[in-house]
Amino acid sequence: MNLLRAKINEVSRSLLPVMALVLLLAFTLVKPDADMIFRFLLGAALLLVGLAIFLLGVDLGMNPIGDHMAREVATSKTGFKVALLSFLLGFLVTVAEPDLLILGNQVEAASGGSISAMTMVYLVSAGVGVLIMLGTFRLLRGRSYPLFMGLAYLGIFVLSLFVSEEFLAISFDSSGATTGALTTPFILALSAGLSRIKGGKTSEEDTFGMVGVMSAGPMYALMLMSIITGQKSIQGEAAAFMPQQGILQPVLAFLPKEFFGSLLALLPLSALFFLLNAFRFKAPWRELRRIIKGLVYTLIGLAVFLTGVYAGFLDMGQVIGRVLARDHSWLLPVVGFLIGMIVVLVEPAVIVLGQQIEDTTGGRIPGKIIKVTLSVGVALAVMGSMVRIMVPEVKLWYFLLPGFLVAVLLSFRADPVFVGIAYDAGGVASGPMTATFVLAFAQGAADVVPTANVLVDGFGVIAMVAMAPVLSLMIVGAVFRRKEQALTRKEEKRVKEPVTLPAGAIQFYDCLVAIVSRGLAERAVEVARGAGAGGATILHGRGGSGHDIKLFNMEIQKEKEIIFWLVDTRVSEAVAGSLYRELDLGGGGSGAVFMMPSGAMGLDAPVAIGSREETPQEMADPAHEPSTAEDLLPPGAEAETPLPAEEPVEPD
Amino acid sequence: MTSGSCVFAIVDRGKANDLLHRAQQIGARRGTIFLGEGTMSSRWADWLGISQTQKEVLLIALPDDAVEGLYAMMREEFQLHKRYKGIAFSVPYRAFDPKHPTGPLDFGRMKEAPHVCLMAVLKRGLGEECMAHAKAAGARGGTILHAHGAGVPQDFYFPLVIEPQKDIVLIVAPRETAPRIRDTVYTRMRLERKGSGILFALPVVRTLGLYEQRQGERADK
């Protein structure tokens, strides 16, 4: 139960403030009818359960699928296959997104049928496919991410000069629609998989950023469409506000609809996975069963979650927006700020991103810091949108242009991990909660304010929510980088002392452990190999040494890599010595190397002094096949040394 | 501080930081934390696929005279001796520090080690299967860590260095049952095949919060 309970805990921590705020507003200022309050409570309960199950499903199903897919892409032998597969993944994961179809229908109606809904859906999906493809090449080739995104946004800026403000807003909305509850976790898992496989120094920062890349796709697709077809304006009316009736009916009406929508959205990707599994992955049954369970959880969880959101939150948002705009319009920015601040934390993708950040950085960057920054960003975005609704002179691009400009410029000076996270955050924050509750709130307000345009101002909210967290996280990333550099300079000042090695040989296996700063593991493995150690296993952790960076009163610890070797005890001193010297593991908090006694099975062969030129095969020794199981345990068995006596030091 | 104990504490996610802070107050210089996954035994949680628990592993190396205080702290403030609160154990270690060279480890102490920490390094994804076999052979629980091996250059379209993904399974067992677990894991996971994984053991000189210990305490009452 623990895992599910952990998810429920996590979700309820973010949901409770939302409920508190909404209920407070409902009882003091807004006073909706009782049905609506009950519907809201029911919706919140569904949201809680649905989201928890969904998150579980992402862990069990989506992440492994993303991992397998990433492996398949990265281990391609031709560039064509990389291109095809990554394009296909981007296309398939987007094409079935229900929100996108809804948007397509709106555009079709507004354009008088000259652009069909399906054309738009295919165009946007192709846009996502192309960008995922480019992003994959960028990642695997190791090109600069800030530069890539800078160019992508430069292109968007140039195109935006040729389209109307309505279309600009719709483009941002479509990008919000494609980075939905389902696509975002999958793309996160995919890029995490790719970067893990690619490995190396940049593997951590490469984990993030693909969602940001992806969200540029729909914008390109739609703006190009607008320019080519000459479709400039969208006149449609936002659907008239029709409050739902009853308490249970809306739930019962939404559930089957959301279920089929979610099923449809999951199908293409699952089909591709099972197809590839049959021919390529051939995952063991145990794992496959797990993935299937995960997919079922994802489906059920998503359907229940969306039902809760639509049945309970949509109306409530509308009514709060309307009543506040009518009676207390000066409160709109304040309430907008609060709503933005807490609602974003219930976005499924935000929770998934938070987890991924903790996993990838070994817990170094607490998910909390990201969430706080994200909250503040979205809060300011919603507040800005309210101001824009109230004051028609304030245009959307007053916010978007400087916001993105500063973000892009900062991205070259910010901590690389934060850069990826920041660009991702834009897509991540504009998920289903924003698209329903926050959007409904804004549209409700815009409906009442006479000078506001429901369509433009409503869509503008999503554009703002997509921009603000990018900026806020970029700022934090830049601050973090500065602090980090200051700390490094301080550490470099410490005097390095020369080291002499003691001689000594013990007849044992040693479990040699080195703890080094993140990124140095590769070097350490090399050094150790040069000194006679064999294969290594690398763990990813974080360390505290009293020199931690503080940010908002939260600690950011240093990231560490822990490397394990099993080394013949006669070499371990030499290996440890090389590591100590080459990687400077003696000083302050920078690292350590130590040994623990052990016995081992399943090793190719122990590596002996002076034999580093020999391959493990040459050194394979029957004495170390399973029969030596006894010398593993108990540790007191050191009398029969694990080393064959006839393995001499043989210089050639 | 060149010879002493390397203390492993396995606690719920989020607690390792507090524990490390307290440990630093009572003399540990530094510690390293990594994320792991625990397992719990419940058939229907297993069926639902949710039997995993999120853990953190904290590794602190400290001199022997400070160990006592650390254990007392973990017991009193983090209640590690109670159920579901986590476990801790220590392995003798020797730091490599040329400034204070030491002799070999005290093997006499190891001979009496009451527990053994088995560590299996396997392909990613096989950790749970390994746990299942270990449990069948008498292990009470274990922790899975995600690690990766050192890179090997490959012949793909991109000049990638593939880092093979690994699961490390960490099981602490009494000396008496450990050989059985070790043999079962070794044979069932087919570790005799090259490249399928390795298995090694570290002597554990002190533990806190193990299932067997709790059983003993219950009997005492």
DSSP H helices, A493-631, are 521-531, 569-582, 616-619
Tell whether B18 and B64 lie within a shared domain: yes
CA distance A102 to A177: 9
User: Does the pLDDT value for residue B151 go beyond 60?
Assistant: no
Q: CB under 8 Å to B77, separation ≥6 — which residues? A: B22
Tell whether B105 and B7 lie within a shared domain: yes
* pLDDT given for residue A605 in this prediction: 35
A522 in contact with chain B, both atoms CB, cutoff 8 A: yes
pLDDT tens-place string over residues A380-404: 999 998 888 888 888 878 888 899 9
Residue A213, both tokens:
């890349």
* pLDDT given for residue A584 in this prediction: 73
Cβ atoms of A174 and A103 closer than 8 Å: yes
Residue B44, strand partner residues? none
For chain A, domains (ranges, CATH) are 18-233+250-482 (no CATH), 509-639 (3.30.70.120)
Q: Does B101 sit within 8 Å of A502, measured CB to CB?
A: yes
Q: Does B96 sit within 8 Å of A597, measured CB to CB?
A: no
pLDDT tens-place string over residues A13-46: 889 999 999 999 988 888 888 888 999 999 999 9
pLDDT tens-place string over residues B165-206: 788 898 888 888 888 888 888 888 877 776 677 888 888 888
Q: Does A197 sit within 8 Å of B200, measured CB to CB?
A: no
pLDDT tens-place string over residues A531-566: 777 778 888 777 765 556 666 555 667 777 888 887
φ, ψ dihedrals at A204, nearest 5°:
-70, -50
User: Does the pLDDT value for residue A141 go beyond 80?
Assistant: yes
A597 in contact with chain B, both atoms CB, cutoff 8 A: yes
Mean pLDDT of chain A: 79
* pLDDT given for residue B106 in this prediction: 53
- Is B17 a domain residue? yes
Q: Are strands B115-123 and B161-162 parallel, antiparallel or unpaired?
A: unpaired
Amino acid at A1: M
Tell whether B80 and B19 lie within a shared domain: yes
CA distance A334 to A617: 70
Tell whether B149 and B129 lie within a shared domain: yes
Closest CA to A635 of B171, B113, B161: B113
A-chain residues near B110 (CB < 8 A): 597, 635-636
Q: Does A576 sit within 8 Å of B182, measured CB to CB?
A: no
Domains in chain B, number = 2
Tell whether B106 and B14 lie within a shared domain: yes
CA distance A274 to A264: 16
Residue by residue, what is the 3-state secondary structure of B171-187? EEEECCCHHHHHHHHHH
* pLDDT given for residue B158 in this prediction: 59
Cβ atoms of B146 and B122 closer than 8 Å: no
3-state secondary structure of A296: helix
Tell whether B96 and B3 lie within a shared domain: yes
Tell whether B5 and B39 lie within a shared domain: yes
Whole domain around residue B95: which residue ranges? 1-110
Nearest-Cα residue of chain B relative to residue A576: B96
- Is B157 a domain residue? yes
Tell whether B43 and B59 lie within a shared domain: yes
CA distance A390 to A451: 8
Closest CA to A145 of A364, A412, A530: A412
* pLDDT given for residue A18 in this prediction: 92
pLDDT tens-place string over residues B46-81: 666 666 677 888 888 887 778 888 888 888 888 888
Closest CA to A501 of A606, A596, A579: A579
Tell whether B120 and B55 lie within a shared domain: no
* pLDDT given for residue A649 in this prediction: 37
Percent of chain A with pLDDT over 70: 81
- Is B169 a domain residue? yes
- Is B214 a domain residue? no
- Is B41 a domain residue? yes
Tell whether B73 and B156 lie within a shared domain: no
Residue with tokens 């938070």: A354
Q: What is the CATH number of the domain that holds B84?
A: 3.30.70.120
- Compute the average pLDDT of residues B118-124: 84
Q: Does B161 sit within 8 Å of A199, measured CB to CB?
A: yes
Q: Does B33 sit within 8 Å of A541, measured CB to CB?
A: yes
- Compute the average pLDDT of residues A419-426: 91
φ, ψ dihedrals at A283, nearest 5°:
-60, 145
Supply the DSSP string of A58-90, one letter for each residue.
IIIIIHHHHHHHHHHHHT-SSHHHHHHHHHHHH
* A·B CB contacts under 8 A: 265
- Backbone dihedral region for residue A519 (phi beyond 0: left; psi -120 to 50: alpha; all else: beta): left
Percent of chain B with pLDDT over 70: 73
More confident call, A542 vs B117: B117
pLDDT tens-place string over residues A295-320: 999 999 999 999 998 888 888 988 99
Q: Which of B200, B202, B204 to mutate to test the interface with A (most CBs of A within 10 A)?
A: B200
A-chain residues near B196 (CB < 8 A): 602
Q: Does B201 sit within 8 Å of A539, measured CB to CB?
A: no
- Is B187 a domain residue? yes
Tell whether B156 and B83 lie within a shared domain: no
Supply the DSSP string of A318-366, one letter for each residue.
HHHHHHHHHH-GGGHHHHHHHHHHHHGGG-HHHHHHHHHHHHHTTTSS-
Amino acid at A146: P
Tell whether B17 and B100 lie within a shared domain: yes
Reported as a pLDDT band with limits 50, 70 and 90, residue B32 is confident
B-chain residues near A199 (CB < 8 A): 148, 151, 160-163
* pLDDT given for residue A520 in this prediction: 80
CA distance A114 to A14: 43
State the CB neighbour count (10 A cutoff) for residue A4: 18
